[in-house]
Structures are given as C-alpha cells and as structure tokens.
Amino acid sequence: MKRMATTWILLLCAATLLAPTTVWADVEEDIEELNDRLDELELKTAKNKLSFFGDFRVRYDYQKWHVNPYQQLMGFDFNNVDPQSGMPAPVFMPVEAYEADNSESWSARLRLKMDYKAGKSVHFTGRLNMHRQFGGSHVPLFNGFPNTVLSSFNSTAVPTDDLVHVERAAVTWDPQNTPFFFTLGRQAATGGPPKEFRENKVRQGTPGALMIDAQIDGLMAGFHLGAIGLPEEGIVRLCYGTGFEAGFGSGGLTNQTFVNMYFPDANNPGQVVAMPMPVSELEDSKVMGFCAETPIPALGGDNLLSFGGFRMLAMTDIPYGMTRGFPNVLSTQPQAVTATTNLGDMDLFGACWQHTVEIGEAGYELTYFGSFATNKSHPDEGTFSLYGFGPMLGNSSEDLTGKAYYVGVQGDVPPTGGKLGFEFNRGDENWFAYLSGADDVNSKLSTRGSVFEAYYIQPIQKGFDFRVGMQSYQYDYAFSGWHISPGPIENFELNNEIFSPYPFPDTITNVYAVMDLTF
Amino acid sequence: MFGRTLSLLGLCLVVLIAFAAIGQRDVRGQEPVDVSTAIIAAAFAGDSEDADKPQIKGSDKKGKYWFKKSCKSCHGKDGDGGEVTPISKTIKQWERYFKKGKHTGDEKLEPTFDAEQIIHIKTFLINHAADSDQPETCG
C-alpha cells in the first residue's frame, strides 16, 4: 500500500515536471503560428504602399439673386463701324431689376487623400477629388464669377461631373538634421487658414484663404524657424508657381498671328461675325512669394499668426478653361476660353491671426480670427483682354490698390455639443486676390462689397457632422473676383445702371446644408 | 419659396439640436458617442451607468499644453525616451495604452503624472493620433 502511494507521488511529481514542457510546446506552436500570420500581414502592409483616407460631403444649396437695372450688351452694329479703330459700335438694351432663385442644387464631393513615406526624409502626399453636381453637366454654367470657368485652378472646387481630378500631388524632401525642406508638385494651396473652422476640419492648406485659394503647381522651399530659436512650429516658405504656360507663345512658333473673334451681330440676332484679331506672343505667367507662420505660445490656447506676400507676374486675362453661358456667342454650348494677352503684374500681401481659447472650467472653446489683405496692380500700358474684358483692374495706365478684411468667431454650444459661427468679410472697389479655386458657390472672399455668414455645426460623432448656414452677399461693384474689367471699376457700381456683357447680382442669399464624413 | 426653404432648414436645425440634446454627451472628447445610439439607450435605460460619477472632460488644448510640459522633456526629437508624438500610435493603441495605465515596464502613469493631466494628455493624443485627420500644408 505504502509503495503504491510512493509510486503515485513520484508519478505526480513527474507529471508536474513534464506539464510545463507540454504547455511550452503549445505556446511555441502558437508563437510560430502568430509569426506566420504576422509575416503575412507584414508582407501585405509592405505592399500597401499608399495609405488612403479622406472625406465625403453632400451639400444642398438654395440661392436667390437680385439684379439691379442695367444695360445688357446685345451685340455689335456692323453698319456703324468706327473708321479709326475699325470696331463696330456696341448695342445695349435696358433690363429691368429682377430676382432669380435656384431653390435646389445638390452636390457631392469625394476626396481621397494619399500618403506614402518613401523613407525618413521623403514622402508623397496627394489628393484625388470628385466633385459632382447632382444631375450635373460636364461643364459648369457660367454665373459671372471666375470660379465658374472650369480651369485647372478650380477643377475640383467647381461641382461638375463624376470625373476624378488630381487636386494635389507633391513630393516633399525633408533632409534629416537640417531645418530645410522642399516640395515639388501640385501644392496644397486651397482652403488655407482660417477656412478650416467653418468647415469643421483640421487645416487644409498653406496660404491664407484671403490671398490664395487655387490649385497651383510649383515648387516650395521651407525653413523651420525652430532652428533659430523661434517656436518649433514656425515655418517660412518660399514659393514659385506657374499660372499660365504659354509654350512658344500662343500663336505657335510665329511672333504674331491672328485669331478669329466672334462678335454677335446686333442687326441679325443669332448671327455672329468673325473678325480677325492680332494675338501677339504670350509670356508665361508666374507667381513668386513667401508664406510665414508661427504660433505665439505666450498668448496661450491654440493660435497661429500667418502672413505672406506674392507677386503674380505677367498675368493673363483669362485662364484656359471651359464654360457654358460665357458672354459670347452660342452660349448654350460648352466653349473653351483661353488667355489672349499678358496684362501686367499684381502684388498681394496679407496676414491672418487665429486663436482658439478655452472658457471656464468646463473647457468650452471660443475661436476668433481676423485676416487682412491688400493688392496692387502694375499693368502693362495699353494692354487689354481681346475678349472685351479690358485691362487689369480696368485701367492699364495706373497702379491701383485694393483691400479686404475677413473676421469671424466660432463658439461651442454646450447643450448640443455643436458649434455656432459668424463671419464677415469686406472688399473694396479694386479688391482682387487669387481665389478662383474657392469652393463657395460665389467665392465670397473675392467680393467687392460685403458678405455676412452664419452657420451651425452639429457633430454626430467624431468625423461625422451636419452643418447649416446662410451667406448674405451685398455687392457694391461688378466683376468681383476678376482682375479684369472693361473700364474703371467705379463705372460698374451696381446702383448705377451699368453697361455690361452679362448680369451682375447686387445681392445674393445662399442657404446651405452640408453632411460631412471624414474617414 | 425662400420662406419654405428657410423653415425647412430651421426644422432640420431643431431636429439636430434635439437629437444632440437628448444624447447630451461630449462628441469631441475621447469617447465619440453616436447620438442616435445615445437616444435609443436613453429611451430604454434611463440614466447611463456612470451618470453620477463626476468626470472631468478631457481638453485638447490643456492636453497639448501638458504633453509639451510633462512629456516632451524626455520625448522630444532626441529625447531619452525616444520621440513620442500623437502620431506615434493609432487611436485604438492610445486607448489601450491609457487603459493599461503603464508608462514603461511596470511604472504606472499615475501617480508619476497628475491624474487630471493624464486625462487631458489622453484626449490630446487620441484626437491627433496617427489615424485621425491630419493637417495638410505644403511639405
């Protein structure tokens, strides 16, 4: 009996000693299996070179326009030709004040953002964008603003068809252990500060939204201000971009050529008369400038001071673009428009201060911002657009200065977890900035006049929100957003009966509702 | 026409606010709450479980401040602890990290670091984690 007990005890001991080994064998097997699975996963991630993320937005717009009485250009009287210039006399017809509204317009925007790290110092970022007008057509209907001439500066801001456009694609080289970095490609030049507050997004672009809001190709050299003892996030960027590539000159390889311009014949409605116009060799249009930005840590909260200056060189009258209803003949058909002349240079300076502070113990946030910008024209004497849109800012012999400001507040609404915001901007007679890629329906920041906007953002969960808002535009002058005008802009004050190739609203009300999902 | 559109939008707004008001939870902070789920939960369950536990709300701005102040000394670019930024981990990984509450090895985050600071730092790190929306600029 005793021996049997001893045997049992010995067996038990052996079992306890053996047990861990068997368990260990199990664990080893598990680890091996995990290893295999991890290898597989690693292989897969290694092959997934690009990471994709992005957002999807559906937007509803209601718009109401009011147009003051004006004189509509009907065409040209070829029986009444000026013997000196050889130009037929323009014929105008008075138009009464009227209102027009578009009670429903829907659009969807899908943005796929891409990111690839090629190593410690090189990375690629890109953004593909489909911006579709529901039931939309291939080419946008011209509404008088430059952001409805579909060009490569705004191809993703203007809702059109279901094509995917490359909005951004740039390689950044950030040499290790130096304060310098370089970016080459289609740059992040749309939706810059302080536009992100209204959109309830993180920052979307580099230059201030009051100065440059357009898809621009070029190169950029950056410098981290941390290297000279300034705040770590501070950066100065030098930028160089192309606004128009003229090739050998638009006339091909010859210095001087003629193109047919089509003039509506006022005596024969529906008919056009082709007149050959001289087109001289075009120059490339370039933009050079700098953007600087830094937080001011001493002021607390989240803040950013950004400012910049740009010179647009040899600006052309119109970019290459597509449009319907452009004030020209046969305007129901999509037509291509293109640059006809270099008009001169334009300077642009601006600054923006934005600051988010917490209020009270509960940590509710209040954001305010103020932005100011000014432009100055340097026209080439005697140059004007062959489309009949005149010289730079309507005056080819004088340098003109324009100004604009843009202010806003946004605050948390504690009971709902939402945000309420108000914005106001005002531009004067000669105000112009490079905003053709702004995705407001009417490019509000380029307004020569004032715009008030109120909006409410209701987050449903992180990355998913609804927004409703209202913009009220009050235009003082016509040709807002354009750097060209058929005559001095003071002649286009909308309270006077202006002579115009197309109607300009003096007020616009735009009510919108947006659903936005970030992924 | 305009009046009708406006009143429609007004109605949408009221519905949205009502939704959110019933949900009554922070939608920005560390715990994103689906408002519709919250409504259903509220309708069926009355008070939520931790309703009477006083909890301070994580603040992104305070978190950024404390992260710089309490963590960056060791976790800057050439810090002893190696560079740590919000994008060092994903949202889920930061959540797990703070749930475990361990800094490195067996050292606990609390009380090495102040409990309130940790709540803010956690909010900041999660809000800007690698898989959150990142700012876009040239370079």
pLDDT tens digits along B26-85: 444 444 445 555 444 444 443 444 444 446 778 888 898 899 899 998 998 888 899 999
Contacts of B87-94 with C-beta under 8 Å, sequence gap 24+, read B87/B128, B87/B129, B87/B130, B87/B134, B88/B130, B89/B125, B89/B129, B89/B130, B90/B129, B90/B130, B90/B131, B91/B126, B91/B129, B91/B131, B91/B132, B93/B129, B94/B122, B94/B125, B94/B126, B94/B129
The domain of B30 spans 2-52
- Do B43 and B71 have their domain in common? no
Q: Is residue B64 part of a domain?
A: yes
- Do B64 and B121 have their domain in common? yes
Q: Is residue B65 part of a domain?
A: yes
Q: Does residue B6 sit at the A interface (CB-CB below 8 Å)?
A: yes
User: Tokens 């931790």 correspond to what residue?
Assistant: B50
The span from the CA of A236 to the CA of A238, in Å, is 7
- Do B41 and B70 have their domain in common? no
Query: Pairing between strand A302-316 and A342-359?
Result: antiparallel
Substitution target in A187, A413, A462 with the highest count of B β-carbons within 10 Å is A462
A460:B36 CB<8 A? yes
Write the single-letter amino acid at A59: R
- Do B122 and B73 have their domain in common? yes
| Nearest-by-Cβ selection for A363 from B19, B59, B64 | B59
Per-residue model confidence (pLDDT) at position A265? 87
Q: Is residue B120 part of a domain?
A: yes
A103:B34 CB<8 A? no
- Do B66 and B46 have their domain in common? no
Residues of chain A with pLDDT under 70: 1-7, 10-22, 249-257, 328-332
Per-residue model confidence (pLDDT) at position A264? 82
> Which residues lie across from A451 on neighbouring strands?
A425, A473
How many angstroms separate the CA of residue B104 from the nearest CA in chain A?
A: 24
B137:A203 CB<8 A? yes
Per-residue model confidence (pLDDT) at position A363? 74
Total of domains in chain B? 2
Q: Is residue B90 part of a domain?
A: yes
- Do B104 and B74 have their domain in common? yes
How many angstroms separate the CA of residue B6 from the nearest CA in chain A?
A: 8
pLDDT tens digits along B82-130: 999 999 999 999 999 999 999 987 888 888 888 899 999 999 999 999 8
Counting one residue from chain A and one from chain B, the pairs whose CB atoms sit within 8 A come to 116
- Do B19 and B72 have their domain in common? no
**Which of A450, A398, A259 is CA-nearest to residue A337?**
A259
- Do B45 and B64 have their domain in common? no
- Do B64 and B46 have their domain in common? no
| Nearest-by-Cβ selection for B133 from A239, A358, A518 | A518
The span from the CA of B105 to the CA of B37, in Å, is 38
**Which of B68, B64, B126, B124 is CA-nearest to residue B94?**
B126
Pick the residue with more confidence: A251 or B135? B135
Which residue in chain A has the smallest CA separation from B59?
A363
Q: Is residue B88 part of a domain?
A: yes
| Chain A residues within 8 A of B25 when measuring between CB atoms | 417
Q: Does residue B59 sit at the A interface (CB-CB below 8 Å)?
A: yes
DSSP B70-114: IIHHHHSTT-TT----GGGS-HHHHHHHHHHTEEETTEESTTTS-
Per-residue model confidence (pLDDT) at position B20? 47
Angle, alpha carbons B115-B121-B122 (nearest 5°): 90
Rounded to two decimals, the pTM is 0.84
- Do B42 and B68 have their domain in common? no
- Do B42 and B16 have their domain in common? yes
How many angstroms separate the CA of residue A302 from the nearest CA in chain B?
A: 7
As a dihedral over the C-alpha atoms of residue A131, residue A132, residue A133, residue A134, rounded to 10 degrees, the angle is -140
| Chain A residues within 8 A of B33 when measuring between CB atoms | 461
Per-residue model confidence (pLDDT) at position A13? 60
- Do B69 and B119 have their domain in common? yes
Q: Which residues of B8-46 are buried (b: 16+ CB within 10 A; e: fewer)?
A: ebeeebeebbebbebbebbbbbbebbbbeebbeeeeeee
Q: Is residue B134 part of a domain?
A: no
Region at A426 (left for phi over 0; alpha for psi -120 to 50; beta for the rest): beta
Per-residue model confidence (pLDDT) at position B18? 47
Which residue in chain A has the smallest CA separation from B29?
A462
Structural domains for chain A: 2-518 (2.40.160.10)
Q: What is the ipTM of this complex?
A: 0.78
B 35-54 near A (Cβ less than 8 A): 35-36
> Which of B52, B74, B91 is the endpoint of a domain?
B52
How many angstroms separate the CA of residue A189 from the nearest CA in chain B?
A: 8
Substitution target in A458, A466, A512, A514 with the highest count of B β-carbons within 10 Å is A458
Q: Is residue B69 part of a domain?
A: yes
Write the single-letter amino acid at A486: P
